[in-house]
Structure 1
């Protein structure tokens, strides 16, 4: 029994490591697959340019493909840069006999602008590769090339998807990253159903090299692990979005996606628990902190870098309380997912300020409001009475909604230090102090306590 599914990539090599075979194998490995490869072209490439392309003979491409398929059970595959009509014709018979899902990324142009598909290969792609695709993943320029359309908006995308479906693929994902919009929307289309917009937050980064390769490889890996098509696409979108948010500068041009981001997040979990455990005793030494402990108790939350879910935010499992004599008591220990409501506050704040990494609940009254102002700490407010009706039955939803709204309405969301509300019947007023790290949060808390003591 093969516990790790084998995922095949048929694509070109990128000597810069950010796209092509290299990006595919990184993606497949990080997401839990065993990567196989058939190399269709060698590129002399970096973040600035493609300096040259050398392609193996079509016969050797076919030999690579035959050799892999006759020995190793392939769970799913993807194609990327196929380069020429002869290479396409050599690979097509093997793909026509496949017994695994195939994702076709019709790579035409590199991020640097270099052509990666010869002119005579366009028709060969249409005739020989598209009909055997389980999913076709063109970006806007590629969709324009293969349909002959000009695409300016969602209506054009839907029409282009229909035209592409007529060429034979079982489904089409038109990637909308090239369109100017607040969000990045990909459109999923299948026969006899209305195209479905799949929305992800747009990431402001120049590290866009290899995005198409990464997405298609991630989709293929999901399919090889048994996911249905739509689930595989959504999972791949999340992986790519994380890779873009955590991308790092490399070279002097378009940098790569951070393919290792999930591993970095996992590695950070232990450090988060350790730092949170160290911060607890520091809280107990702060003079006057009992004054800020809410009746419903206090908690301190810290997120892993680029956290997306409640399970990636740690807090104290037993919360923080105070005795009648003003002693601070910390019960439990740091655990991920221990304070879902406070975690939702932090995650909502991060949607406006990605630097926010920790949060602390505080009692709120007029004297605290005045102390926040004197300390130079910026507060943003929401009103519980304005919560939309459809959210009222969702546990913790008002804090997520309220935090998001408070920062959305503030002219400088990244400058906000505390998110506050006046409470309602049965809910005491509270503030949630935000920090870029625990030292930053404790510094702000010290400023607040100093002003309260005046």
Structure 2
């Protein structure tokens, strides 16, 4: 087997496991790299705060770096908590002249508010910025090192310019501290305009170690040969998923879920198996053929924290029926197999994250009457209201329509059914929403029973 690219992390140890060396090594491993470490300080901390810090001697920090680099081919390095001016200078001397990409995360304060950089170390930290291929300050850190008050995009641009003058090849000012719908990091590279790199903002208290995780993931990307923009984007995507998958660890701020990609990958086979079993039950469901539209039915199921169509499984050949009413599940369960139903599901989940699956059904007066009799909560959107900018693109129309229907509903968390009116040459459809397969099966059974009662 080919050796994994080695990434050296130079940082403090977090006894709670959420930040520092521990977070770095997890992120490096999940990126497919090998993690080596040089520990600068020991901390006694948990999710509520830092109880104590014991610094390692500068000489021993340097010895760790030199010993690793003398034997192992390090492909990239990153720094985190360096704590004191003597340690910073020792790290600078140990790294000076080594031809490896370096990410400097100028850690000053922990998520809990504890200071992780001594007052006399701020100027010393600036002295090593020229070694960095990338500097990754958050807004408070950028303010500290530039002396600016950062409140706007123009302030960020000015801060980037000042920081670049200190010697790094690139600067990433992280925008997590700004109050905005999207979290925007600004990447400034010498000789280029700053680039806005946006990610979905995640509402969570579990953000301990996000800076460590991001910088370690970027360093891993550089170790694998990615260019700077690609390395940052991939690291952002990883961190965003880890934040969306976070969990409560203690009483305070927990960490992102560093293992999220591996855990979700492990769920995929189980999801496909469950969808297959559900398809077998649908083929035996009496009367289901009445609900299958001309464009055929499909069922989509989302992985936890799904945001893209590739995170949603459906039947590759959809669900059809014969003239005699025999239901046939065509193709096989596959991720990314549905665009339309998957798009409806993903958009509905923005309003109600509890929704896990969706099904496309026929829409007619009999079905609507039965849905009303069942007490299903409906939300509607109409093709006549379609704005010019999405016309002609079915995928974007469905995204627009679903978001509109859910946003305009007084109780989006209770919506069972999204109805799309259709148009000339376009069949109207009804989309059932449910938490899981059991909930979807129960709703389908209830709807069919109501339709049978109407006929009787």
Same topology, TM > 0.5: yes
Select between 95-104 and 151-160 the one with higher mean Cα deviation.
Answer: 151-160
User: What is the match of residue 15 of structure 1?
Assistant: 15
Distance 1:366 1:259 in 2: 49
User: What is the match of residue 76 of structure 1?
Assistant: 76
User: What is the match of residue 51 of structure 1?
Assistant: 51
User: What is the match of residue 96 of structure 2?
Assistant: 96
How much does 1:388 deviate?
Answer: 4.2
| Structure 2 runs not aligned, ≥5 long | none
User: What is the match of residue 65 of structure 1?
Assistant: 65
Measured against aligned partners, the alpha-carbon deviations of 1:350-385 in whole angstroms (never above 9, x if no partner) come to: 233222221111001223223323322222222234
Distance 1:418 1:99 in 2: 59
Distance 2:400 2:104 in 1: 39
- Partner secondary structure for residue 229 of structure 2: helix
Measured against aligned partners, the alpha-carbon deviations of 1:205-242 in whole angstroms (never above 9, x if no partner) come to: 11010011011111111111111111111111111111
User: What is the match of residue 119 of structure 1?
Assistant: 119
Q: In the alignment, is the contact (CA less than 8 A) between 1:101 and 1:134 conserved in 2? A: yes
* Count of equivalent residues: 453
How much does 1:275 deviate?
Answer: 0.7
**Structure 1's 224 and 442: CA in aligned 2 closer, same or farther, altered over 3 A?**
same
Distance 2:412 2:188 in 1: 37
Measured against aligned partners, the alpha-carbon deviations of 1:129-166 in whole angstroms (never above 9, x if no partner) come to: 21111111111111111111222232322222222112
Distance 1:105 1:373 in 2: 57
Distance 2:383 2:193 in 1: 37
User: What is the match of residue 189 of structure 1?
Assistant: 188
Q: In the alignment, is the contact (CA less than 8 A) between 1:153 and 1:179 conserved in 2? A: no
Q: In the alignment, is the contact (CA less than 8 A) between 1:380 and 1:416 conserved in 2? A: yes
User: What is the match of residue 28 of structure 1?
Assistant: 28
Distance 2:384 2:95 in 1: 59
Q: In the alignment, is the contact (CA less than 8 A) between 1:171 and 1:189 conserved in 2? A: yes
User: What is the match of residue 271 of structure 1?
Assistant: 270
How much does 1:23 deviate?
Answer: 0.3
Measured against aligned partners, the alpha-carbon deviations of 1:47-94 in whole angstroms (never above 9, x if no partner) come to: 011111111110000000001111111111111001110011111023
How much does 1:247 deviate?
Answer: 0.5
**Structure 1's 157 and 317: CA in aligned 2 closer, same or farther, altered over 3 A?**
same
The RMSD of aligned alpha carbons is 1.7
User: What is the match of residue 255 of structure 1?
Assistant: 254
User: What is the match of residue 222 of structure 1?
Assistant: 221
User: What is the match of residue 5 of structure 2?
Assistant: 5
How much does 1:390 deviate?
Answer: 4.3
Select between 389-398 and 274-283 the one with higher mean Cα deviation.
Answer: 389-398
Distance 2:352 2:391 in 1: 26
Distance 2:314 2:186 in 1: 38
- Partner secondary structure for residue 27 of structure 2: helix
**Structure 1's 337 and 126: CA in aligned 2 closer, same or farther, altered over 3 A?**
same
**Structure 1's 135 and 387: CA in aligned 2 closer, same or farther, altered over 3 A?**
farther
Distance 2:386 2:220 in 1: 40
- Partner secondary structure for residue 71 of structure 2: coil
How much does 1:318 deviate?
Answer: 2.1
Select between 392-401 and 78-87 the one with higher mean Cα deviation.
Answer: 392-401
Q: In the alignment, is the contact (CA less than 8 A) between 1:294 and 1:430 conserved in 2? A: yes
**Structure 1's 413 and 282: CA in aligned 2 closer, same or farther, altered over 3 A?**
same
Is 1:446 matched with 2:445? yes
Q: In the alignment, is the contact (CA less than 8 A) between 1:40 and 1:87 conserved in 2? A: yes
How much does 1:3 deviate?
Answer: 4.2
Is 1:287 matched with 2:261? no
- Partner secondary structure for residue 408 of structure 1: helix
User: What is the match of residue 138 of structure 1?
Assistant: 137
- Partner secondary structure for residue 10 of structure 1: strand
How much does 1:317 deviate?
Answer: 2.0
Distance 1:352 1:39 in 2: 44
How much does 1:424 deviate?
Answer: 1.7
| TM-score, length-scaled by structure 1 | 0.95
Distance 2:174 2:190 in 1: 18
Q: How does 1:31-42 map to 2 (within 5 A)?
A: 31-42=31-42
- Partner secondary structure for residue 351 of structure 1: helix
Distance 1:358 1:154 in 2: 40
Q: In the alignment, is the contact (CA less than 8 A) between 1:265 and 1:306 conserved in 2? A: no
Q: How does 1:397-416 map to 2 (within 5 A)?
A: 397-416=396-415
Select between 141-150 and 53-62 the one with higher mean Cα deviation.
Answer: 141-150
Distance 1:52 1:101 in 2: 32
Measured against aligned partners, the alpha-carbon deviations of 1:406-437 in whole angstroms (never above 9, x if no partner) come to: 22333333322222211122210001111111
How much does 1:95 deviate?
Answer: 2.2
Distance 1:148 1:63 in 2: 34
User: What is the match of residue 301 of structure 2?
Assistant: 302
Select between 45-54 and 439-448 the one with higher mean Cα deviation.
Answer: 439-448
